[in-house]
Structure 1
Amino acid sequence: MEQETLVYPLADNTVLQGKYTILNVLNAGGFGITYLALDNPNSRYVVIKECMPDAYAYRDMETGFVHPRDEQTAVNFAQSISNSRQEASVLAQLSHPGVVQVFDMFDANGTCYYVMENIQGQTLFDLMAAMHATGQSMEPARATDLLFRLLDILHYLHSMGVYHCDIKPGNIFIQPDGTPKLIDFGAVRTKTLQHQGLVQITPGYTPPEFYPGRRSEIGPWCDMYELGATFYELLTGQVPQAADQRSVVDRNPKVTSYAILRQTYPMNFLSGIDKALSPDERNRFHSAKAWHDYINAMGAAGTLKAGGVARKTLPKAQKKSSAGTAFLIILLIVGAVLWVCWKQGLIQF
């Protein structure tokens, strides 16, 4: 029975649906296995995700078939398959450059699979780890651009009635050109499917309303919290305090409380992160557009972006006033110097 307690991936060179050749395992998590595969008819590399919840199922190594571990876990296994199908179905209806594209979905070996585009780059988690290990930080212009791009992706998702519900650095893929793409929609919710499927709890990122006993309505504000937590870690190098603890006693320092961050990043950028991270969903942004507009509105009041770089500016009237004041000061200094020279007989009028 030792074999039945372990999770085994499909063997390399396994062919699925007569056209997908498994090349190697990319990742094996608690709920599934992802493979790099060759889509033979289209001569392209793809990623295939297999529903394989190790707590509920095991693979027969002779046949490759996936079985529930016992009668008790059979229900959970069936629910996992249903969740995976829902994830694939939702993704298949989306079309945005910032969302991983699904090409195909099918059942085989007693479980389900779906086929996605193979994207290049690295996760934001890996990028952050490399930066923080060397004491580096993301430039303000790049960080702001990344935030705006992610807000654009979320604006699209929310307009389609879709909520990611598991945004974190590991689920944000940064492509070679720097553009982000959201991956892993395993916890996805829709307006019509609020509380069905997997509830993914990632301490520090998951908002309070996802915790047991807090089954409130799911909406854009949930993704706003998780995106705020992601940028909190990006800037501070620290994962925020778990939301269920913050709901009792909030000991999480605000990003605006860090002097070094205030010296580096625009205040509207920092305060927006703090607002998104509010434990009380009523105080968060209720849409991606609201967060975007918040930054722009504060920018009009004093922080403007030029060429992607945040800079301070003054209203024209204030600029003229400042210039006039400076001119008067110069006249006073020149006058004082001339008076001293005249008193000492160095010059005559």
Structure 2
Amino acid sequence: MEQETLVYPLANNTVLQDKYTILNVLNAGGFGITYLALDNPNSRYVVIKECMPDAYAYRDMETGFVHPRDEQTAVNFAQSISNSRQEASVLAQLSHPGVVQVFDMFDANGTCYYVMENIQGQTLFDLMTTMHATGQSMEPARATDLLFRLLDILHYLHAMGVYHCDIKPGNIFIQPDGTPKLIDFGAVRTKTLQHQGLVQITPGYTPPEFYPGRRSEIGPWCDMYELGATFYELLTGQVPQPADQRSVVDRNPKVTGYAALRQTYPMNFLSGIDKALSPDERNRFHSAKAWNDYINAMAAAGTLQAGGVARKALPKARKKSSAGTAFFILLLIAAAAVWICWKQGLINF
């Protein structure tokens, strides 16, 4: 049947929980559908995410109800709903300007939903695509500021025992004032929930420990790898070599190896990206603070300003010798005497 092979979104003007009116579809991915909606009691626009894994479920268009495709996929569908609830539950406990805010969560139509703030702006992926297509690059000051802001967000998350585990340009939203906000916590992990739920593999961004057969402990170093991969693509226009391949033979060029980048960006900024992208998690930064401190420690060495902006050290001015100064004064006096004598006609040239 057609309805069992295609995923249909909720119709526009559908009302959920007697207060949310669906306006239109924002995005339909493999695991869910996001809608722009009107929160009628609060007179505000919101984004609603519906758990709708197209591989495991379909919608009955007459009732709007979501059903598992068959008995075999019913287990996977139930797990997807559990993952979505976990994502919403984790987000609801967070309060940071760099993390998307969750207002509400509920079950309906045989699946689950959660309601988020409606963010203005564009994803870093869209911004990068435009820049690379037009031959532009992000200014050093803006790039380092973006890195520090994202490290601040991750420092907060990790202190809360939360790991995003799917950092990439498409999951970083750049608001009109330039400040970033992390979105899509569908692969989120916590200190207590290490290996439950969806394992999101994005080649080039996902660290080696997420691949099958590498079920090592998940921690801040995983997010550091993905953030490093994000800035690698931002600077080079290339996605890093997939981590499972790098674990065997690492052919990924380092950003510090690009002469054009060395001429544009400070070395502490570039070398930090290379360190974060190490296939061996032991060689990466193990916290957002460690990466932040690494940049500022190099800055304190004297050639780089904190914040990652290059600043040349000015040489000290040389002191003139007292003998040289005296000679210069005598020369001025002699010249003045000659000029006076010439004006009085005492000497002729």
TM exceeding 0.5: yes
Q: Deviations over 1:63-118 (max 9, x none)?
A: 00000000000000000000000000000000000000000000000000000000
SS, match of residue 24 in structure 2: strand
Give the deviation of 1:2 after TM superposition: 1.7
Alpha-carbon distance between aligned partners in 2 of 1:136 and 1:74, rounded to the nearest angstrom: 48
Change (3 A) 1:249 1:36: same
Q: What RMSD in Å do the two structures reach over aligned CA positions?
A: 5.2
User: Which protein shows a greater Rg?
Assistant: 2
TM-score scaled to structure 2, two decimals? 0.90
- Identify the residue that residue 127 of structure 1 maps to in structure 2: 127
Alpha-carbon distance between aligned partners in 2 of 1:333 and 1:238, rounded to the nearest angstrom: 69
Change (3 A) 1:323 1:141: farther
Asked if 2 retains the 8 angstrom alpha-carbon contact of 1:302 and 1:314, the reply is: no
Asked if 2 retains the 8 angstrom alpha-carbon contact of 1:31 and 1:53, the reply is: yes
Asked if 1 retains the 8 angstrom alpha-carbon contact of 2:300 and 2:306, the reply is: no
Q: Check if 1:219 corresponds to 2:229.
A: no
Q: Deviations over 1:219-276 (max 9, x none)?
A: 0000000000000000000000000000000000000000000000000000000000
Change (3 A) 1:207 1:347: farther
SS, match of residue 316 in structure 1: coil
Change (3 A) 1:213 1:304: same
- Identify the residue that residue 78 of structure 1 maps to in structure 2: 78
Q: Deviations over 1:110-169 (max 9, x none)?
A: 000000000000000000000000100000000000000000000000000000000000
SS, match of residue 34 in structure 1: strand
Give the deviation of 1:305 after TM superposition: 2.8
- Identify the residue that residue 175 of structure 1 maps to in structure 2: 175
Alpha-carbon distance between aligned partners in 2 of 1:138 and 1:57, rounded to the nearest angstrom: 42
Alpha-carbon distance between aligned partners in 1 of 2:193 and 2:44, rounded to the nearest angstrom: 34
Change (3 A) 1:264 1:20: same
Alpha-carbon distance between aligned partners in 1 of 2:270 and 2:149, rounded to the nearest angstrom: 17
5+ residue gaps in structure 2? none
Corresponding pairs, count:
349
Alpha-carbon distance between aligned partners in 2 of 1:59 and 1:46, rounded to the nearest angstrom: 23
Asked if 1 retains the 8 angstrom alpha-carbon contact of 2:296 and 2:308, the reply is: no
SS, match of residue 37 in structure 1: strand
**Identity among equivalent pairs (%):** 94
TM-score scaled to structure 1, two decimals? 0.90
Alpha-carbon distance between aligned partners in 2 of 1:28 and 1:127, rounded to the nearest angstrom: 21
Alpha-carbon distance between aligned partners in 2 of 1:329 and 1:28, rounded to the nearest angstrom: 83
Alpha-carbon distance between aligned partners in 2 of 1:213 and 1:39, rounded to the nearest angstrom: 45
Give the deviation of 1:303 after TM superposition: 3.3
Change (3 A) 1:63 1:214: same
Change (3 A) 1:92 1:341: farther
Give the deviation of 1:311 after TM superposition: 1.5
Asked if 1 retains the 8 angstrom alpha-carbon contact of 2:48 and 2:113, the reply is: yes
Change (3 A) 1:72 1:298: same
Give the deviation of 1:314 after TM superposition: 5.2
Alpha-carbon distance between aligned partners in 1 of 2:30 and 2:332, rounded to the nearest angstrom: 75
